[in-house]
Amino acid sequence: MAGSSITTALGDLGGLGSAGLAWLETRMVGLLAEGSIWTTGMPAAKSNHAGPIDSDYAFITIICTIFFVPITIALVYFAFRYKKAPGEKAESDVSHNTPLEVTWTVIPMLIVVVMFYIGFRHANMMYAAPADAYTVHVTASQWSWSFLHPSGAQMGGDIGKLSPDRKARETTDPDLGLHLPPGVPIRLVMNSTDVLHSFYIPEFRVKQDVVPGKTSSLWFTPDLPEGDEPDMYWLLCTEYCGKDHSNMLSAVYVHPTMESFLQWQTRATALDPDNPVESGAKLYVRKGCATCHSVAPDGSGPNTGPTWSGLWGLSADEHQVHEGSPTGPKRGVAMTGEAGEEYLRESIRNPTALWREGYIQPMAAVKVDDTELFFLIEYIKSLGKQ
């Protein structure tokens, strides 16, 4: 690929400079280290990428300080030192000084070459994931995240809730969200079902847009938790995606041990065939249905999609359902019967075939097998018209 050969060539070219840079880095190691005064402002560093990015941050901050402080001092000093009464002539009539001007052109040039190179080198480390990485498929939709693991475990995001005193954002269910095994590189393969989104975890210093019609990916190795409990972080959407953009969060957990991760995996995949309603309720959160559909009897909660409370058995009059897409031309009322088995099956597996009056946000198809579909419908039935 032409792109990668350019990258390689640039990398080789950089190899010449890297010896000198290595020398510079050993001299500056104390200044650039995590937790030094020059990384002030950065959040906790919790992945393999945080160290290199923070050291680049510190390097740039040092350069900025070296330029900014003298500029400001000169600005203030000159303003008062050369302040004169009206009509007094200037002390100097110098119009230029070529050696000086060439100097202050060339020095910044050399500095930015170094700056470009360190950023380039560290960014290159972030593109290709190690071959042994643990891969999670991430699906972004307006306005939720969903995570599919190699084990088949699928889990919706946990957007959390503002605590009543507005001092903290609390998670709602510790099994929801992105759960990660400890000590291995994690690779995320990401797709969007609707508009642009962006995956960002500040503590890991990773960010990648999630683009509809494309697959993007990123990787990182999270730091091991210090205690026995999983470390919790917030994943944030950083590409504007509409109404609930600022609620498109999810809790992310890094487990302290493989054992703890596997326990979660067991909980995440367990369904009880003897108790279909309860299993359906579990799937309601795992599959991300909870992001848009409320189940509370009073209809409170997210209402991007129709509430499931009282849905089962609605008559055709109470439940205006059309064919096609809400933005296209109306093709007449599709449903003549009540909201029943057939309608629900169609709406879960092929959600854009039908749409209900008043709900314009299209839903992405949800991958469910026949058993899961049965559980979900049983759950919706249990919430039906009493």
Partner 1 sequence: MNPPETAAATSTQVAEAPAVPNHYLNHSKGFLSWALTLDHKRIGLMYLVGVLGCFALGGIFALLVRTELWAPGDTIAGMFASPGSSPQEVYNMWFTVHGAVMVFLVIIPGVPAALGNFVLPIMLGAKDVAFPRLNLGSFYLWVIGALFFVYTLFNGGVDGGWTFYTPYSASQATNVIPALLGVFILGFSSIFTGMNFVVTIHKLRPPGMTWFRMPLFLWGSYATALIQVLATPVLGITLLLLIMEKTLHVGIFSPEYGGDPVLYQHFFWFYSHPAVYIMILPAMGIVSELISVHSHKRPFGYQFIAYSSIAIAVFGFLVWGHHMFTSTQSPAMNAIFSAITFSVSIPSAIKVFNWLATMWGGSIRLTVPMLYGLAFIFLFSIGGLTGLYLGTLSTDIHFHDTYFVVAHFHYVMMGSALIGMFGGVHHWWPKMVGRHYNGTLARISWALIFVGFNVTFFTQFLLGSQGMPRRYYDYLPRYEIYHKISTVGSYMMAAGFLIMAFYLLQSIFGGRKSPANPWGANTLEWHCTSPPPHDNFATAPAIEDCYDYSGIDYDAKIGGYTSRANP
Q: Which residues inside 144-163 make contact with partner 1, applying CB under 8 A? A: 162-163
Count the Cβ atoms, other than its own, within 10 Å of residue 146: 23
∠ CA 268-223-23, nearest 5°, is 155
End-to-end CA distance of the chain: 63
Q: Within positions 79 to 138, which residues make up the interface with partner 1, using CB under 8 A?
A: 79, 82-84, 86-97, 100-101, 104-105, 108-109, 112-113, 115-116, 118-124, 126-127
State the nearest-atom distance from the C-beta of 118 to partner 1, in Å.
Answer: 7
For the four alpha carbons of 250, 251, 257 and 262, in that order, the dihedral sign comes to negative
- How far, in Å, CA of 293 to CA of 244, rounded? 14
State the nearest-atom distance from the C-beta of 240 to partner 1, in Å.
Answer: 4
Q: Within positions 27 to 46, which residues make up the interface with partner 1, using CB under 8 A?
A: 41-43
Kindly determine how many residues on this chain lie close enough to bind partner 1 according to the rule CB under 8 A: 97
Strands 249-254 and 178-180: parallel
Return the residue of 4, 151, 263, 350 that touches partner 1, per CB under 8 A. Answer: 4
Return the residue of 27, 243, 367, 385 that touches partner 1, per CB under 8 A. Answer: 243
Q: Within positions 323 to 352, which residues make up the interface with partner 1, using CB under 8 A?
A: 327
State the nearest-atom distance from the C-beta of 105 to partner 1, in Å.
Answer: 6
Strands 161-162 and 169-170: antiparallel
- Token pair 């031309």 is found at 329
State the nearest-atom distance from the C-beta of 271 to partner 1, in Å.
Answer: 33
Residue pair 299/308 in contact by the 8 Å Cβ criterion: no
Per-residue x/- track, 51-80, partner 1 (CB under 8 A): -xx--xx--x--xx--xx--xx-xx--xx-
For position 18 contacting partner 1 by CB under 8 A, the verdict is no
- Give me the residues paired with residue 201 across strands: 206
Q: Within positions 221 to 240, which residues make up the interface with partner 1, using CB under 8 A?
A: 234, 236-240
